[in-house]
């Protein structure tokens, strides 16, 4: 028998702006009936991302009037209620299929994904294949579309030699795989404990830190032509420039302090970035389901441990996605 839909749900929310472990607290929230083109999803897993910690710390605005603020950018679960005309996201409007109660779905971008249930606009709802585990589904899309944006923004191609800064991270490990699939040679920076993983993917691992540009040069087969930065340190940008990569082929999702260098900064805004990210979704889901794309889960946490998960993610942490299980 189908589980009856929840009328209220526990949701993790920032009660003030600060360190997630201190300020994220469980709230009991009502679950409204979905309006037109909305659905209610019972969450089975919620992906944990660094941006959730940055929002909680107030780095994207700290207006007290927005508190309590529900946190969580992506989730996967089961549809429990469907509003009028709700249809799955598709880049082409004509391809949008009807969403039904009982469907297994991914919600990205979610608003308030750290919850037992959430209300979502249908434009954020994607069909989850049954063979794709809920935790992987919940941790796939934010990092996946970002990696695809990095690759597309600088048009990585088979004749490129690419350095990926932070190649064992959640975004970096997908960027490494996408670049390799295009036929590029890939050097990737990571802590030594992650080198064997990068070798398994097919990349040449290099330790970050002093002397990075020389190590990358020694490790690469030819001149480095593209740098994809998922770390945002000056070292990542400076070493890329020192290797002679033109700023127009250095793409970063985190080095926003280096805008004056003329590098390509990506935050998902702008028509091109939105298009690249939207067009990547179906392929990411298909490849994660078939196993052609490796998405590791490092750890799962109970929903109420969201703050601890985000605090751990902000420092050195095990490789792979952190996922909350409501
Ligand atoms: N602009 C956007 O659209 C966008 C989208 C998604 C994410 N982001 C941002 O991108 C960053 C990465 O996100 P993520 O989810 O991939 O995080 P993540 O899984 O924590 O990966 C970050 C990786 O950086 C590596 N690292 C740490 N310190 C380093 C250093 N000094 N030099 C080189 N590498 C270092 C770590 O690798 P080791 O463990 O090997 O040390 C870690 O795995 C975050 O700041 C996030 O907010 C931006």
What confidence score (pLDDT) does residue 7 get?
Answer: 86
Mean predicted lDDT score pLDDT of the chain:
97
Range(s) of the domain holding residue 36: 8-128+296-325
Is pLDDT at 62 greater than 70 in this prediction? yes
Indicate whether 178 belongs to any domain.
yes
pLDDT at 238: 98
Tokens linked to 260: 């004056």
239 and 304 belong to one structural domain? no
In a domain, 55, yes or no: yes
**Percent above pLDDT 90 for the chain:** 97
Chain segment 258-278, per-residue pLDDT in tens: 999 999 999 999 999 999 999
Please identify which residue in the block is written with the tokens 């007290």: 64
* Best CA proximity match to 133, nearest among 161, 155, 106, 100: 106
Query: Distance between CA atoms of 168 and 175, rounded to whole angstroms?
Result: 10
The proportion of the chain whose per-residue pLDDT surpasses 70, expressed as a percent, equals 98
pLDDT at 34 over 70: yes
On the question of pLDDT at 174 being above 80, the answer is yes
The closest residue, in CA terms, to atom 10 on ligand 1 is 230
Q: How confident is the model at residue 3 (pLDDT cuts 50, 70, 90)?
A: low
Answer yes or no: do 198 and 124 share one domain. no
Tally the residues of the chain: 326
Cα angle vertex 258, ends 256, 262, to 5°? 110
pLDDT at 2: 56
Q: Residue 275: inside a domain, yes or no?
A: no
Q: Verify cis geometry, omega within 30 degrees of 0, for the bond prior to 139.
A: no
* Residues 164 and 242 occupy one common structural domain: yes
Domain check: are 104 and 181 in the same one? no
Cα angle 197-199-204, degrees, rounded to a multiple of 5: 125
What residues are in contact with ligand 1 under a 6 Å CB criterion? 49-51, 142-143, 146, 165-166, 168-172, 189-191, 194, 208, 230-233, 253-254, 266-268, 313
């Amino acid at each position: 028998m189908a589980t009856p839909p929840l009328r209220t749900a526990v949701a993790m929310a920032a009660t003030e702006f600060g360190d997630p472990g201190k300020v994220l607290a469980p709230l009991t929230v009502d679950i409204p009936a979905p309006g037109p083109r909305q659905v209610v999803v019972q969450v089975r897993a919620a992906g944990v991302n660094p941006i959730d910690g940055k929002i909680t710390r107030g780095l994207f605005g700290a207006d007290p009037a927005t508190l309590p603020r529900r946190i969580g950018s992506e989730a996967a679960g089961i549809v429990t209620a469907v509003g009028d005309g709700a249809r799955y996201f598709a880049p082409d409007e004509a391809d949008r299929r009807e969403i039904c109660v009982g469907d297994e779905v991914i919600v990205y971008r979610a608003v308030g994904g750290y919850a037992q249930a959430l209300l979502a606009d249908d434009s954020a709802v994607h069909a989850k294949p049954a063979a794709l585990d809920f935790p992987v589904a919940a941790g796939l899309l934010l990092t996946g579309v970002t990696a695809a944006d990095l690759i597309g923004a600088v048009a990585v191609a088979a004749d490129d030699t690419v350095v990926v800064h932070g190649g064992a991270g959640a975004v970096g490990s997908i960027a490494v795989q996408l670049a390799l699939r295009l036929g590029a040679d890939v050097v990737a920076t990571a802590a030594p404990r992650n080198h064997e993983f990068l070798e398994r993917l097919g990349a040449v691992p290099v330790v970050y830190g002093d002397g990075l540009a020389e190590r990358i040069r020694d490790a690469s087969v030819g001149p480095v032509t593209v740098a994809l930065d998922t770390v945002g340190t000056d070292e990542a940008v400076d070493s890329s420039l020192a290797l002679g990569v033109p700023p127009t082929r250095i793409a970063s999702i985190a080095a926003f302090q280096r805008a004056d260098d003329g590098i390509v900064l990506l935050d998902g805004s702008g028509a091109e970035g939105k298009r690249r990210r939207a067009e990547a979704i179906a392929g990411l889901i298909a490849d994660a389901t078939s196993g052609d794309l490796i998405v590791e889960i490092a750890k799962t946490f109970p929903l109420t441990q969201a703050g601890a998960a985000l605090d751990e993610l902000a420092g050195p942490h095990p490789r792979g996605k952190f996922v909350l299980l409501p």
